[in-house]
Structure 1
Amino acid sequence: MTQSTTPSDIAVRPVAIGARMVGPDQPTYVIGEIGINHNGDVDIARQLIDVAAAAGCQAVKFQKRTPEICVPVEQQSKIRQTPWGEMTYLDYKKRVEFGQDEYREIAKYTQDAGLQWFASPWDVPSVDFLESFDVVTHKVASASVTDHELLRALAATGKPIILSTGMSTLEEIDAAVEILGKDQLVILHSTSTYPMPEGEANLRTIETLRDRYGVPVGYSGHERGLQVSLAAVTLGAVAVERHITLDRAMWGSDHAASLEPTGLEHLVRDIRVIEEAIGDGVKRVFPGEEEPRKRLRRVTT
């Protein structure tokens, strides 16, 4: 891919993810990232789906792995302390991984809740697994940006792709976009620090990525609180993804950087307020200003 940027005056076209359009002049697409915060428990997954639906999210996202492929050989036999006792790291990863039966239940539950669902596949067999459920889209985790074999498998599905860009250089993103194509691509700006300090957010990268690739750009956040995600929407993010949890004190690696139910509810509420407040940029006198205009203006034109 050449290093030239896409001129900022070229219109960015929305991408259809199922029945929803994601892009400029569309409602912000809010994704509740369940990931592995279900801790291998379908009941917790159902509760998190309920939380996302109640808050007004459009989708929930999971992670799908084949542990034998994704866990490095040298780490597979390492002992891990878990809520289910002492076990090898490989056995732990198997313990928290959902299979066909669990995802069949998740697919029905999310549909009944009025949400879309999809996942980040971490290996090629997981792409095939998710395709068996005909998911509306696939998500590329930041860790997988340089996994070209995986990217080629995802491109071959013909589905829209959401590409996270944490811990990636522009050259690495260039190569990924070359494989995935731009026709059905949504890019998410992200910083892969857990939790992320505000000084590493670098939200102006949203514009950099939009200008460079000419595709819709959103934000995947790992910070505590809401301010950075809300600022991303103000700067033009068309989608916002945040990890969600029932309780940040729960056992697991991602809970501390996740939003609890009230935080997620406030995030979606405030995103909708911002969308309404941004307006169209046309300067006008609003109806509510007419009376003060008549009462307060000493000189009229």
Structure 2
Amino acid sequence: MTVVTPNPRLRQLGSRTAGPGRPVYVVGEIGINHNGDLDTALALVDAAADAGCDAVKFQKRTPEICTPRDQWDVERDTPWGRMSYIDYRHRVEFGESEYRAIDEHCAERGIDWFASPWDTEAVAFLEGFGVPAHKVASASLTDDELLRAVRATGKTVVLSTGMSTPRQIRHAVEVLGSDNILLCHATSTYPAKSEELNLRVINTLQEEYPNVPIGYSGHETGLQTTLAAVALGAAFVERHITLDRAMWGSDQAASVEPGGLHRLVRDIRTIEAALGDGVKRVYASELAPMKKLRRVQGALAGV
């Protein structure tokens, strides 16, 4: 009887596995770009599904926990008028009924969804929907209580590493355990400057954590640098998405519109096909040009 040993470098994300040798797992980060409007959220799900994304991701907060108490009553201007910050946080937060509709719509469109919980109550809320994974945002990397809560679910945990030092990342990996995590290089500026993306950190993380898949969570404008991350070996790609970058919200300017998302997924698939397996070979398509162009075949032609 042959015993099949699971590949320690692969992670389960719903019906898909992510990691070296697997197609890049592409996530459309909706976050709060829906601005509290369910129809907008469902339209973004459609845009991601139409583009060929594997999943969409939201953000889930318990406003009273995630908003500092001294900020609750601070007033701010919003598209819905002037309101307190705590009222604004509630205005853009989805609850049970909205996520039920999102869950049903994603099932209809054949696309997974999960979220970044920002507190332990949010983790419990998301577990009620059987999400395939949890995402820890860069801002939450130092929240040990949250890290322990997502680890306890037994689900794959995607950890973004923006605004974090190597020491902080190592500590988070120790808290989460390295068996069921996927690390994402990120620069937490919205939008991020090209000269601050430092994409070679993808390779640094690959060397530091050889049994952990490494991905990329991009907040830049444009698509070229995200494609470069794939060429460098990113096994997971996440980009914020929007219906219109001119919409209100802090993440919109660093987001990709539907047409750009379609091109991004298309080009990711082209790049991963072109990367190949690294084994040098002579292709059958080269034989005719070889016969026509090579004057001396060489003594070791068959080796």
TM-score, normalization: structure 2?
Answer: 0.94
CA RMSD, aligned part only? 1.0
Check if 1:228 corresponds to 2:240.
no
Q: How far apart are 1:76 and its partner, in Å?
A: 1.2
Q: Residues 2-47 of structure 1, C-alpha deviation per residue, up to 9 Å, x if partnerless?
A: xxxxxxxxx8621111211000000000000000000000100000
- What is aligned with 2:29? 33
Q: Distance in 1 between matches of 2:47 and 2:129?
A: 23
Q: CA deviation at 1:219?
A: 0.1
Q: Choose from 276, 281, 284 the match for 2:278.
A: 281
The answer for the alignment partner of 2:9 in structure 1 is: 13
Would the aligned equivalents of 2:161 and 2:169 in 1 still touch at CA under 8 Å? yes
- Residue aligning to 1:296: 293
Alpha-carbon distance between aligned partners in 2 of 1:18 and 1:265, rounded to the nearest angstrom: 22
Which residue is 1:6 aligned to? none
CA deviation map 1:87-134 (0-9, x unaligned): 011101100000000001101111111111000000111111111111
**Matching residue of 1:197:** 193
How far apart, CA to CA, are the structure 1 residues paired with 2:65 and 2:275?
46
Q: What amino acid maps onto 1:157 in structure 2?
A: T
For 1:264 and 1:284, the matched residues in 2 are separated by: 34
Aligned to 1:240: 237
Specify the alignment match of 1:67 in structure 2.
Answer: 63
Compute the displacement of 1:185 (Å). 0.6
Are residues 1:58 and 2:46 paired? Answer: no
What is the distance in 2 between the residues matched to 1:51 and 1:261?
6
Equivalent position amino acid for 2:130 in 1: D
Secondary structure of the structure 1 residue equivalent to 2:94: coil
> Matches of residues 256-267 of structure 1 in structure 2 within 5 Å?
256-267=253-264
2:301 paired residue number: none
Contact 2:8 / 2:179 at 8 angstroms: preserved in 1? no
Which residue of structure 2 aligns with residue 136 of structure 1? 132
SS in 1 for 2:155: coil
Comparing 206-215 and 216-225, the one that deviates more: 206-215
Which residue of 160, 171, 187 corresponds with 1:164?
A: 160
Is the 8 Å Cα contact of residues 12 and 23 (structure 1) preserved in structure 2? no
Aligned pair partner of 1:112 in 84, 108, 119: 108
- 2-structure distance, mates of 1:224, 1:184: 31
Deviation string for 1:57-104 (max 9, x for gaps)? Answer: 000000000111111112111111111111011101100000000001
Q: Could you say what secondary structure the match of 1:294 adopts?
A: helix
Tell me by how many angstroms 1:300 deviates. 2.1
Whichever residue aligns with residue 120 of structure 2, its letter is V
Gaps (5+ residues) in structure 2? 1-6, 299-303
Deviations 1:144-170 (A, max 9, x none): 000111111111111110000000001
Q: Distance in 1 between matches of 2:46 and 2:284?
A: 40
User: How many equivalent residue pairs?
Assistant: 291
**TM-score, normalization: structure 1?**
0.95
Q: Partners of 1:20 and 1:296 in 2: how far apart?
A: 44
Q: Which amino acid aligns with 1:190?
A: A
Q: Indicate the larger mover: 230-239 or 209-218.
A: 209-218
Counterparts of 1:211 and 1:110, CA distance in 2: 36
Q: Percent identity?
A: 63
Whether 1:98 and 2:94 are equivalent positions in the alignment is yes
Q: Which moved more, 1:57-66 or 1:208-217?
A: 208-217
**Aligned partner of 2:272: which letter?**
E
Aligned match for 1:145, one of 127, 141, 148: 141
The one-letter code sitting in structure 1 at the alignment partner of 2:98 is E
The answer as to 2:28 corresponding to 1:46 is no
| 1:5 matched residue in structure 2 | none
Match in the other structure for 1:175: 171
Q: What is the match of residue 123 of structure 1?
A: 119
Secondary structure of 1:30's counterpart equals: strand
